[in-house]
Structure 1
Amino acid sequence: MFSHLPQLFGFPPKSAQFLNMRKLWQRLLLAVLFSPATCVCAQQLPKGLDSLFYGKQGIHTRYPDLGLSIGVVRGPATAYYALGNTQPLQGVPLDSTTLFEIGSVTKTFTALLLAYEQEAGKLPKGAYLESLLPATVSLRPGLRHRVTLTAMASHQSGLPNLSNDRYIQALIDKDSVQPFHSVSRDYLFKILRETDSLQAPGTYHYNNFAFSLLGTLLAQRAGRSYGDLVQQRIAQPLGLRTTGLTYQTAHIAGRFTTKGEVRPAIVINAVAPAGGLKSNVVDLVRYVRAQLKPPAGLLGRAIIRTQQPVYHDSTITMGLAWEIRQLAGHRVYQKDGDTFGNSSLVRFDRDRQVGVIILANHQDAKAVAEAGDLVYQYLLLNQPL
């Protein structure tokens, strides 16, 4: 595959110079293609991680059907690992290019779109929900000038949450397989019009509705769809080639419940800003690198804004969508996500310049959290990638 390259430098075929040059090019290209910083293939687990995953109490031992795609960042180095197949005991092996539903990790993208507008000076930090609402949607007195966009992006708005309230049960009754399929922009506005009071505003309550509404309104303001806005403002500038609302490749992970039941691809319509993106660990490594070292310019400033604490109580500190925790004496940013058939985790530590991405072909937040902890602790021990 490399035989034509030395000819570009003027050596005749089969000459000594040609043969020596060909060998040199082969070595150089193999070194580049398979170096830890650039390889997008799955690698074997390092010895320390291998025992943690395959030992008597390892992840694979306790979750034998679970398939994982893992991305690791430490300083300038990158490594990718994969365990299992797209489907348990069959399918094709997972690798770093396999696409997964990343669920609520999507919220960090939606929050970044908000921060982008704030850094651009188009939305003040204290802007209220009304600043994005169309004239046809009016709030009841109990909500006027009480819900800020920042509160919506940090789970403290007090709005209905579309998860464990009367709305989710009605959606399940309508379609138990795809309950969010019927959630349109008008449905979000309907909920807003019906809401006459806020539930414990200013305190943390996880909220899918707030993120769905926020992303929908930001896209409407920009005159684009949510998916197009993510592409324009985030994916393309950061080089995220397969991240989006649709599958950009045929190499797709299977989707299973914790019991191994097959699930269809999730269809969530206007709930997309809360959990609709698909991605792989190659793209999410690029995303984490941008979090660790934000690029210059507006997008970089917006990334930094999402990482600033805006809420704190005895149990959690929130940036914009990012959960901020103290682990091993350092501030760590994290977001996990679940759909009906996949689970995900993104974690990074700016002080140590490390990051971990875990994507699973089962909806199993517990297993993914355990895998994330194992890999993160391994990184802290400064073990080889």
Structure 2
Amino acid sequence: LTKALEKERKFFEDHTHFRIFLDEGKASIPHLSERLTKELVSHINRSLPQLEKQIKEKLEKTSTELRMLGDGVPQDETERDNFLIEKISRFNQVLTDIVSAEEDVGDTDTRVFTKIQREFSNWKTKLDKKATQLQEHLRDEVEEYTRIHRGKELPGFVNYRTFQSIVRKHVEDLEEPAMNLLQTTTDIISIAVNKTTTSFFEAYPNLLRAAKDPLEDLRELEYERAEERLRSQFKMEKIVYSQGGLYSRQLEAAKSTPNGNLFGKAINADIREMTHHLKAYFTITSDRLANQVPLILLYHMMEQYLVNVKTAMLGMIRHKDAGSFIQEKSDIAKKREYLLKRMERLRKARQVLAKSVPSA
């Protein structure tokens, strides 16, 4: 090898045209090797921060998985009881965090309340859209009801029966969308609770099974109660009521807002007056339903449901078969050992990188 390198060097030194490459450090194996080494070192130095970031992310993921698995079931009976209490207490704390919109969801998921709030915003949009549709179809409806139900009222006087009938009809149209909102809200909460339950108790099949039963039963119970409350709310809306002072203020606001050309050039006194009253009342009703429906859903499907789930979980601590709840799956110990070894390897890699990454 030495002779070959010497021969190569002599070739470039003696060559009329190629000697310049040797002088500039662009020829011969030693020069090229040095240049390649510098480029390789530079590339490695540029890659080290990204590699360090990847190791950090894997460490966090491994740590989370280990935390979910726990330290393993102790053998001492008293320690086993405390182990079960701690498991259930940590689970209940997550449910508490969900209710207060403080649960940890990482960077990829969204909090339960945020998802529900989005659906509540859609509900408000439906109410606003309904108010717009009401104005668009009001002329035909008022003319139809006036033709059928008009009594001795002179033009411009509001026939209460006509007013009441139109209000009831449009409020009834909102009942099923409210039920759909109930189902959507229930699904969001149910998915989150089931996911949390599985992540906490996956290693303990008996505990997971025991936890799943009250989840379903209690959810169904609160769903029925919420549905009943919503149905009652819409039955009450058929009464067609508002505080006098509030209604007067909304009516004044409706009359001060120009109708434009909504009904064309010709608009009779009946339609004009009815428009003002319906607009005033539906503003009040829309605001009422925009708040009341979400309140009912949050109370039953968030507050009451999760409080009852936490109570049911605490009841498992006193269950006669509580000891069997924390029997670990056979493959969990192997997985824990694998994760511990992986954690150790990642920590060592991070220590090596810490010495290699150039300081800023």
TM-score, with length taken from structure 2? 0.23
> Taking CA–CA contacts closer than 8 Å with sequence separation of 6 or more, which of the two structures ends up with the larger relative contact order?
2
Greater helix share, structure number: 2
Specify the structure having the higher radius of gyration (Cα). Answer: 2
TM-score, with length taken from structure 1? 0.22
Greater strand share, structure number: 1
